[in-house]
Amino acid sequence: MLAACGKPATQPAQPPAPAVGYVTVREQAVTLTNELPGRTSAYETSQVRPQVNGIVEARLFTEGDMVRQGQPLYRIDASPYQAQVANARAALARAKAAIASSAALARRYGELVKINAISKQDYENSQTSAAQAQADVAAQQAALRTAQIDLGRTTVRAPIAGRIGRSVYTTGALVTAAQTDPLATIQRLDPIYVDIQQSSADLLKLRQQILAGQVARDGNARVKLLLEDGTTFGPEGTLRFADVTVDPTTGTQVIRALFPNPNGLLLPGMYVRAQLVEGTQARAMLVPQRAVSRDERGNATVMVVGPDNKVAPRSLQTNRTIGDNWLVTGGLRPGDRVIVEGGMNLRPGMPVQPSPWNPNAQPAAPAQAQPQAQGK
């Protein structure tokens, strides 16, 4: 029987193992930062109010200017208070005249009572009158001082230094000492406060990590500020204190930072975002975000290069991002090789050709299949 003509059948060639890029997980010190919303508020605020009644005769400042402490701002009609001062001076002079007469009478009665020329009751009455005259002098001195204080208050002065806003009252307006509306408001803007809202749950977690020794807290933490237009505010600030209560409606705690504001760029009420340095984690593990995917349950997973260069899946525990990386708290060990590039369509147990991943390298173009020569 003749052998069948033709070429023997050939086995299909096995495709080469796919090339992947990996990073080796290692422990390193990482600075933990957090970006939180906040509002600016003035370092000092003073509402300028009148302390006497009267008609505003003049406004002595320009709205929006910087004013110094003690600078005159308003002048109130002083005529009634000048009259009160003159009346108090006259009453004081009258009291002083009365004290001289009563003191002389008390001295004479003191000599007469020794020879029984007058009764002891008359002598005691003269002593009482002299004491009352001295008390009247002290009272009139206090009344004069009060009148002088009220007269001085007819010139309304700046209680603090800062930038003054618009004047609510104009010349000719009637103002009273008990009015609710301020004449104007002064705010000190250099330095300036930033009140930051932080979740009480995040703050509790951070405190627990500090107590457990996982995070070292910087005692003089610095804060950076991002403005509404996305730019970074130049000077850095410092944390001052954290409020001791939690807002029950929002579940947040207020943290106050202090920033220098020499150019007056920050104004009270501005919305900002603060970047806080919470502390340093000495033995942290970072994994690039592009290496992490999610399973059907939403859990973070990565592919690692296992023994014999075979792919193995790992589930991760992560709690925050740092730059382009995830901070891994569980699921990996130092020395694990996490696949960052070429991880598409990989299956557990598949062999790969691993090489260290270079984030600056351009991805290689896929190889083109070469046509096989046709047999004759």
* Mean pLDDT score, 10-35: 80
Is pLDDT above 90 for 151? yes
pLDDT recorded at residue 145: 94
Which CATH entry fits the domain spanning 31-43+191-281: 3.40.430.10, 2.40.30.170, 1.25.40.10, 2.30.130.10?
Answer: 2.40.30.170
The domain defined by 19-29+284-356 folds into 2.40.420
Evaluate whether 19-29+284-356 and 79-152 have a shared fold: no
Report, as an integer, the average pLDDT of 169-190: 92
pLDDT the model gives residue 359: 74
pLDDT at 153 over 90: yes
Mean pLDDT of all residues in 152-177: 93
Domain residues of the chain, as ranges?
19-29+284-356, 31-43+191-281, 51-76+154-181, 79-152
**Exposure of 132 by Cβ count < 10 A (0-12 exposed, 13-18 middle, 19+ buried)?**
middle
**Which superfamily does CATH assign the domain made up of 79-152 to?**
Helix hairpin bin (1.10.287.470)
Residue 202: band (very low, low, confident or very high) from pLDDT cuts 50, 70, 90: confident
pLDDT per residue over 289-307, tens digit each?
888 888 888 888 888 998 8
**Cα separations (Å) of 319 from 158, 284, 330, 336?**
51, 12, 10, 20
For residue 80, the model assigns a pLDDT of 93
Residues 84-118: pLDDT tens digits? 999 999 988 888 887 777 766 666 666 666 677 67
Six token digits for residue 89: 């001076």
Read off the amino acid at residue 371: P
Averaged over 51-80, what is the pLDDT? 94
- Across the chain, mean pLDDT equals 82
Q: Which CATH architecture has domain 51-76+154-181?
A: Beta Barrel (2.40)
Q: Above 60 in pLDDT, residue 288?
A: yes
Instruction: Please tell me the pTM assigned to this model.
Output: 0.66
